[in-house]
Structure formats: structure tokens, C-alpha cells
Structure 1
Amino acid sequence: MPSAILDAHISIVIPAKNEAVGLAELVPELRDTLPAAEIIVVDDGSDDATAHVAAEAGARVLSHPYSKGNGASIKTGARAAHGELLVFMDGDGQHPASEVPKLLAQLEAGYDLVIAARSRSAQATLGRWLANSIYNRLASVFVGHPVADLTSGFRAVRAARFREFLHMLPNGFSYPTTSTMAFYRAGYSVNFLPVEIRPRKDESKSHIRLLRDGARFLLIIFRVGTLYSPLKLFMPISAVFFSSGVGYYAYTLSQMGRFTNGAGLLLITSILVFLIGLVSEQITNLLYASSQE
């Protein structure tokens, strides 16, 4: 590992809910790979031996009295961490400790946020891979840069930069999406690094259920747009309504010789959608401006 990284104080934050088995392997691996790093396990209301196993392995354990969510655990760990560099990884054993130095080396190279990009084979199901592909393509359109893995929770970041956006992060599973888009929006340097991710040993242990969380994850698509640049989302919608209104007006004018209520409704809707987008854009600008103060 580069010497500059060795001199920096590194904190590794692991949100965990009922991950005693995975942590029993992961924490010792991290100790061997980065002996001087601070390892923080945030026990999110587990009902197994997660906290005990992590503490026995040498991690600093922070416990929630009840389950608050993955994002809430990330925020708890980020607030308590002492390191200048933060590494976030799952406690289920998917994220190998051996890949952490590669992420940290990219921070030394000048990036503010480095995200571990998963391959198709590393994603548990075809459905999840397809959903993530849609998120990645949408995010790429908004930010104007290729986004290789928008939802990866394995990442390294400069602590001071990350804490600027803590108030914007949700408590649920979409914290990676929000933080990634926030870094792009603020003009910070983001990089995606292909790494080897281990397949989940037991998919039944996943806290994400595609059917249960499908609607919520669809909202991520709209969060991406409204978080990064609302007008990029609202303008096309407004244009569709406006074009439909003009087209319908042309049709009714040629067929009935008059302007109909339907055409008027479409045109008014296009104006309202545009104005909502404009107001949202101003609110977003104020939100990011306040985070930079």
C-alpha cells in the first residue's frame, strides 16, 4: 500500500444486522490487512451475537437499541469515526478485506469517493442486476459521466467530504445512491474501481426483498433526478405534455375548428410541471449551498 495511505488514519465502518457469522471472518481479515485501522461495527438492533462477535474480534461496537436501517447505521458510524478516510463495507462477507487497499490507493491518487464496482456474476439475481443496470444508466444520463455501480455499499471516501452530506442521507438502503449523486452534484471527484466481490453465501439472509422493496427502489429513479438536477427530470415530462397539447390542439382545430378543454389541460399541465421543476432546482441549489458552508 502507498506510504501516504499508511500515514493516514483509516476508519472502517460496517453496518450489521444479524451478521455474526460474517463478522467472525471479516473483522480478523481486516485486522490482518490494516492493523492500525479503526474498525467500527454498528449493530443495528440485531437479535443474534453480532455485537459480541464483533467486540471479541477487536472491533469497536456501536449498538442501536432497535433497527433503524442501513443508512442510519452508516451515519452513526461516520459520526463516531476518528479517521480522515472512511471505508464502508457490508458485514455479510461479500466484501473482501484484501480489496480495501485498492480503494484507499485511489483516494491517494486524488479522488474524493471511490466505489467498488460489482460485475454481473457478483450480483445475486438477474432481477437485481437488471434493476441496478437501469439505475446506472439513468444516473449516467444525469451526471454526464459513466456510472458503473450506483448502489454499491463498498466504498472509500474522505471523511470531511462525506460528513457534508450526512443530513441528506436516508435511513434506508438507498444511502449509496444519495451519497454518490451528492458527490457528483458538489463537483467532487468520483471513481469506480472494478473489484472482486464474493457471491452472497445465503441469499435468504439478504435484508432486501425485491417484491417488498420493489416500489421503494423505483423511487430511487426519481430521487436520482430530483437530487442531482430536477430540471433534467421535469423538463422532458413538461415537453411531453406540451407536445401532446399542441398536437391535440392541431387535431381538434382541423376536425372541429376549436380549442378544446383537453388541449388546454395538457398545456396547463406542461407549464405546471415546468414550474415545479424550476422551484425544485432552486431548492436543490440552496440545499447544496448550505452543505458547503
Structure 2
Amino acid sequence: MQNDKPMQIRTSIIVPAYNEEEGLPVTLGKLRKVLDESYEVIVVDDGSTDLTPEIARRSACRFFRHEVNRGKGEALRTGIKHALGRNVIWIDADDTYPAEIIPEMVEALEEYDVVVGSRAYGYENIPRFNRFGNWIFRTMIKVLYGFKAHDPCTGLYGVRKAYLDKMGLSSKRFAIEPEISIKSSRMQLKTLDMPLHYRPRIGETKLNAIEVGFEDLRTILGLIFWRGKGKGLEHAANAAAE
């Protein structure tokens, strides 16, 4: 999974993890089966108090650790900062998303700027309250920002790194995906919606649906006037095409 020649790395896979000692080895095992030497895997441990750091260190991947829990958004931003690939894909560590579609996502990123792994199937595996919240936020992001993909809050997402670097990401916790969805729409990035089957998670959830809901709402409303960075977007487009 780890490649010692950075120039050969095409895609960086980021796995943010917080107390995922049950799900992380399963997720890494599935990644190992579908990835070749053109990928690197980056595990960012977000202050776990279980065996997650030890599991990550024993794996053939790059590893970064936050000493305290700072949130999924912070973990993802750490991974993006250190990513060597031209493409960045992230996947949750709890085995809810199918790692086997990642090669298809990478292939799609040759034509598209963004690939969204939308939870079109297995929706019953999402708690009912979360499903309702996702529907509200999906509708808001579509109406306010014109985001066309089905699932702006998904945990399996792929973006050209050059564009991520220009987004000025600031979300600390679970609003990171809505932020990226909104900014990619504002930047008019070419987006592919890739349906997937969402599975039951391994281990206990760490998500507080009410707190996440308020954070998502603040993010969605707070980005209404965000328009990107002008010439920086043109530079990002040129870098992404290289």
C-alpha cells in the first residue's frame, strides 16, 4: 500500500479515524486488496484512546496522529496537507463504504474534478434521524448552491488535490463534506455522482446527530457569500490538468 517513490503516486487515500480499533483493520484490509503501487494510504488518528494508533502504525501506510480529538474535518485537512497524489480520496474507517469502488473513482477523476460516492442503496443502515437531517441539508445545498450530486454529506469522496488546496477548508468536524460540496459547486467543478451501497458500521458511532446537524446548518448558511479566490481557481485548474 505504501510507495517509496512519491513521483509514482497517483492517488492519496485518506482514512480519518477516531477510536476505530474494530473497523480500521477491516477497512485497511479491503483497501490493500484493491490498491496498487500508484496509491498511498494515509491514516490520520484523531486522538484515539483505544488501539487505533497501534493498528495504524503496524499497517503499511503513512500515519499521522493528533494528540487530542480535534474532529474529522481537522483530521481530513491534516491528510490533505501531507497527500502526495494528484487525486485525494477519503473513506471512513468503520467499513460502511465499499473500498472496492475506489479504482473506479480514480478512473473517473481523469475526466471529472469531483467524484461523490452517494449513498443511494443501504440507506436503511443510516439512523432515521440522520436520514432526515441528510435530506434537509441535501435539499438546502441543492437549492442554495446548485450542487447536483445526491449525497453532499457522504464519507467517500474524491477530489483533485489542486482544487482542495484552493478551497481554504475550515470545518473542524463533520461539516467538512458539506463545505467541500458547496465550494466545489461554487467553483463550478465537474462532478460525477457515483451510487454506492452503504453498509452497517463496525463498532459504535461517535457522531452526535444534533451537534452535527447544527454544525452543518451553520456551514451551509455561512458560505452563501463564498465565491472562491478568482485567479487562484484558474491556477488550480491548470495544476489539476498536469
User: How would you bin the TM-score normalised by the shorter chain?
Assistant: 0.7 to 0.9
Distance in 2 between residues matched to 1:147 and 1:134, nearest whole Å: 14
Q: Is the Cα–Cα contact under 8 Å of residues 28 and 57 in structure 1 kept in the other structure? A: no
* Alignment: residue pair count: 225
Structure-2 change in CA distance of 1:76 and 1:173 (3 Å): same
User: Does 2:236 align with 1:288?
Assistant: no
- Give the superposition deviation at 1:129: 0.9
Structure-2 change in CA distance of 1:192 and 1:169 (3 Å): farther
- Give the superposition deviation at 1:288: 3.0
Distance in 1 between residues matched to 2:118 and 2:11, nearest whole Å: 21
Q: Residue in 2 aligned with 1:253?
A: none
Q: Is the Cα–Cα contact under 8 Å of residues 27 and 58 in structure 1 kept in the other structure? A: no
1:125 maps to a residue whose letter is P
Secondary structure, aligned partner of 1:93: coil
1:209 maps to a residue whose letter is N
Q: What are the equivalent positions in structure 2 for 1:38-117 lying under 5 Å apart? A: 38-108=40-110, 110-117=111-118
Q: Residue in 2 aligned with 1:132?
A: 134
Q: Residue in 1 aligned with 2:155?
A: 153
User: Does 2:206 align with 1:195?
Assistant: no
Tell which has more relative contact order, 1 or 2 (C-alpha 8 A, sep 6+).
2
Structure-2 change in CA distance of 1:198 and 1:17 (3 Å): same
Q: Is the Cα–Cα contact under 8 Å of residues 8 and 85 in structure 1 kept in the other structure? A: no
Q: Is the Cα–Cα contact under 8 Å of residues 95 and 154 in structure 1 kept in the other structure? A: yes
Distance in 1 between residues matched to 2:229 and 2:132, nearest whole Å: 31
User: Does 2:7 align with 1:11?
Assistant: no
The percent identity for this pair of structures is: 27
Q: Residue in 2 aligned with 1:263?
A: none
Q: Deviations over 1:16-43 (max 9, x none)?
A: 0111221111112212210311110001
Greater share of helix residues, 1 or 2?
Answer: 1
- Give the superposition deviation at 1:290: 6.8
- Give the superposition deviation at 1:68: 0.9
Distance in 2 between residues matched to 1:182 and 1:221, nearest whole Å: 10
**53-62 vs 209-218, which moves further:** 209-218
Q: Residue in 1 aligned with 2:4?
A: none
- Give the superposition deviation at 1:176: 0.5
Structure-2 change in CA distance of 1:218 and 1:187 (3 Å): closer
Q: What are the equivalent positions in structure 2 for 1:225-240 lying under 5 Å apart? A: 227=223, 230=224
Secondary structure, aligned partner of 2:230: helix
Distance in 1 between residues matched to 2:182 and 2:214, nearest whole Å: 20
Secondary structure, aligned partner of 2:200: coil
Distance in 1 between residues matched to 2:173 and 2:43, nearest whole Å: 17
- TM-score with structure 2 length normalisation? 0.85
Distance in 2 between residues matched to 1:184 and 1:124, nearest whole Å: 25
- TM-score with structure 1 length normalisation? 0.71
Q: Is the Cα–Cα contact under 8 Å of residues 9 and 84 in structure 2 kept in the other structure? A: no
**35-44 vs 99-108, which moves further:** 99-108
Q: Is the Cα–Cα contact under 8 Å of residues 45 and 63 in structure 1 kept in the other structure? A: yes
Distance in 2 between residues matched to 1:291 and 1:177, nearest whole Å: 21
User: Does 2:220 align with 1:218?
Assistant: no
Q: Residue in 1 aligned with 2:170?
A: 169
Secondary structure, aligned partner of 1:288: coil
Distance in 1 between residues matched to 2:158 and 2:212, nearest whole Å: 26
Q: Is the Cα–Cα contact under 8 Å of residues 152 and 178 in structure 2 kept in the other structure? A: yes
- Give the superposition deviation at 1:210: 2.1
Structure-2 change in CA distance of 1:135 and 1:147 (3 Å): farther
